[in-house]
Amino acid sequence: MPLGSGAYGEVHLAWDREASSWVALKRFTGQDELGLLRMVIESRIRVSHPHLVRTLAFRLVDDRAWLVTELARGGSLRSLIARTGRLPWG
């Protein structure tokens, strides 16, 4: 099930059989090496913070890059800003 897309990828809802939980599966769709490099760097970030999703896996399969992250619930940041006008500084 598609969740969204951007300049460098499409994000889909996926079921992780090992963890028995829903995850976000991002497929790189960009055409340039810089975009792929950004995705690889994103996959290597290991930060624990309540407002960031954790990267669970990064794989190259048949020359396609896939990034698996925790699923962030609650909609997109774009729709939240559209509803509220802007986010509180805190």
Low-confidence stretches of the chain (pLDDT < 50) are none
pLDDT at 9: 85
pLDDT at 90: 67
The pTM assigned to this predicted structure is 0.75
The 3-class secondary structure across 12-54, one letter per residue, is EEEEECCCCEEEEEEEECCCCHHHHHHHHHHHHCCCCCCCCCC
Structure tokens at 89: 């500084």
